[in-house]
Amino acid sequence: MDSKLLSSEDLSCPVCHNIFKNPVLLSCTHNVCKVCLYQLWMCMGSQECPVCKEQTSVASPCNDELRKLCEIVLLSKRNKGSSTGSPSVCSLHSEEISLFCLEDEQLLCMACYTSKTHKDYQCCSIDFAARQYKKELKTALTLLQDRLQVTEKVKLNYDESTQHIKCQTHLTEKQIKEEFAKLYQFLQNEEAVRIAELRQEEKQKSLIIKEKIEETSRTISTLTDIYSTLQNEIKVEDFTFIKNFREILEWYTRAQCSLQDPRLISGSLIDVAKHLGNLRFRVWKKMEETDFYSEILGQSCTKCQTCVDISSN
């Protein structure tokens, strides 16, 4: 039988999906790696063929012809791997790495698996381990995406608060000017004082909101970078992914711990009552103290609907 006429599927174990190691011929004419077969039967509790699912038995303890063909293919791959520096070949045994030790979290070849170090440990295929770890990382991505969405909503609220502050400042300034316009020249100095106080509060609270926006933007940028990095790590080939998984997870955990959860701050809007509350009475009292009196017409304080909604929240 010419190995060149056989496909990789013909030379692959139906259990581990790697090129046969000591293939055993079953009575149903299917071949399975000796180690894979007995492990499978031990787990299943019955002698069932992994291909046709029929009850079977060992027809030949070793299919020598198939084993020789597999050794030729393995030798060819090993030579190619050594010339290209392939990382999928065990550095200790020069055999293809096909297993993953769940207890030591190490990549193993079949010789490693049968050695004393890992003999009694639970192992699985690389693709199975990669699927399990990717599920774990996808869960982290989902949580990260939820946190990113919450943070973006907080930033949006900060952006809206900036507009509300400007709106409040504009309306409050207008009402202050309308009150002071009725007091003639005497009230011009008082008007300037009130507006200056309002501007100072606007400056202070706008600065606080600006700092919060910048802080939140940095958090969003960091979360986006983490999310993008984890997405890229999931796309790498399994060997590299498994090799770097713990390092990636530790980096993700450190990055998560370094970030603070976003929180809205109270008292961030303009204190309108402070500027307009009892304004006319206070000015009138000041006018009395200076022996100056003028009738002041009453005017109700109004808010835009947007500011009313924000205040109610």
Pick the residue with more confidence: 78 or 88?
88
The pTM for the full model equals 0.34
Can you give the pLDDT at residue 6? 54
pLDDT of residue 285: 80
Contacts of 64 (CB under 8 A, 6+ apart): none
pLDDT over 90, % of the chain: 7
Calpha distance 197→89 (Å, rounded): 74
pLDDT of 182:
63
Q: How far apart are CA 262 and CA 110, in angstroms?
A: 50
Mean pLDDT of the chain, nearest integer: 79
**C-beta separation of 179 from 260 below 8 A:** no
Element containing residue 136 per DSSP (H, E): helix 126-181
Please state the rounded mean pLDDT for residues 115-135: 81
Nearest to 40 by CA among 78, 75, 9, 13: 13
Domains contained in the chain, CATH given: 1-86 (3.30.40.10), 87-121 (3.30.160.60), 131-312 (no CATH)
